Structure 1
């Protein structure tokens, strides 16, 4: 039996066959199309009961007409067997209620700031945003889990008095990535590089502002964006 505190990486999570879920940024993500607020509340109530029984609690957002669920073992800041087990149970509950999943719809938006030295500026952004810093990555995160994460990319050339060097990372399911890239190109964007595909594509708008379309696939072998 897998240690419940062992963090599972992408290949192991993908092998679990969680059809309703997608894995990226060290979380499992799912969206369930409830069709009504009442059905959504029923699903959330059942998820709450399952979470209490498992003594393991997801992040749940109820809106009309859907429910979004994120699963992560917060004590280790990653996905473990506890999350996999609860994901399976939540999928069973959704099926019992006749609620369809929409795994292609999930995504996470992060902000990235290019800096020559993250340690020099990270404390400022942590303080001004009121965020927390995890131990494993140069980033700061909203402790309430609602606002976007800000992470710091090493860029030695980003020094001196230059314009602010932000870019966006949009993380999507692997099967959606090419469609998203093509849609951006059709809308006037350009492909900067596909060197790190399938981990991420780098695109730019007509003014040269860059964005990365990211997936979980290949992220552990790709260099920093």
Structure 2
């Protein structure tokens, strides 16, 4: 029997002391490295430790300076108690500091498309970018190789030609978001809205191009609003 999906708050609270953060429905961490060889050895040890569970839940990205690890029920696109347990096992095995918020920290990027008729435009974006429906949320599109940003579609009630129809959503750890917003404003950005904070802040550059800084927070209530976290 599949483990039930955890709420965002339950998932983040369960790994609060382990150095993992919830980003876009995954538990994510990063391990600083001194070399690619060091990371390869560590990843091999993690894969052996998790066995078949790793195939079903773990995604890894190895670079010379960091090993990024993410756990999620891949078939369903949710975080469960199984994923929390896997995060604990990985943390114990790694036995070194992890860094979800520092120089080797974690973040995710999505492209948001405002659309009046989502079923009409979504197939185009899937085809042109080589994307597939996201497990657990088929209205969003993801790269099966895990390389390109996800694309999701925001339902519009009426055309708004005076603003951009495509914007970026950068999802960061909840404890990084205020500093990221402040840095963007200090770099010349404008705050368009913080009505949905802590869920997301809407910013723009000096020419009006928009970006949302997003977190998982305040999204578990009924009627939650997009951007998705």
Query: What's the TM-score, normalizing by structure 2?
Result: 0.89
Contact 1:5/1:76 (<8 A) preserved: no
Mapped to 1, the partners of 2:24 and 2:172 lie a distance apart of 10
Greater alpha carbon shift after TM alignment, 7-16 vs 165-174? 7-16
Contact 1:31/1:69 (<8 A) preserved: yes
> 5 Å matches for 1:1-225?
4-18=2-16, 19-52=18-51, 54=53, 56-95=56-95, 99-104=96-101, 105-134=105-134, 136-158=137-159, 165-221=165-221, 222-225=224-227
Q: Deviations over 1:159-186 (max 9, x none)?
A: 78x8861100000001100000000000
Contact 1:115/1:159 (<8 A) preserved: no
Contact 1:193/1:203 (<8 A) preserved: yes
- C-alpha displacement at 1:140, in angstroms? 1.1
Mapped to 2, the partners of 1:10 and 1:82 lie a distance apart of 15
Mapped to 2, the partners of 1:224 and 1:40 lie a distance apart of 36
Query: What's the TM-score, normalizing by structure 1?
Result: 0.90
Greater alpha carbon shift after TM alignment, 121-130 vs 14-23? 14-23
Gaps of 5+ in 1: none
Gaps of 5+ in 2: none
- C-alpha displacement at 1:224, in angstroms? 2.4
Task: Give the direction of change, closer, same or farther, for the CA distance of 1:54–1:133 in structure 2 (3 Å limit).
Answer: closer
Contact 1:117/1:156 (<8 A) preserved: no
Which is bigger in relative contact order (C-alpha 8 A, separation at least 6)?
Answer: 2
Moved over 6 A (4+): none
Greater alpha carbon shift after TM alignment, 164-173 vs 9-18? 9-18
When the two structures are aligned, how many residues end up with a matched partner?
A: 219
Matched residue of 2:167: which SS?
strand
RMSD, matched Cα: 1.9
Contact 1:7/1:76 (<8 A) preserved: no
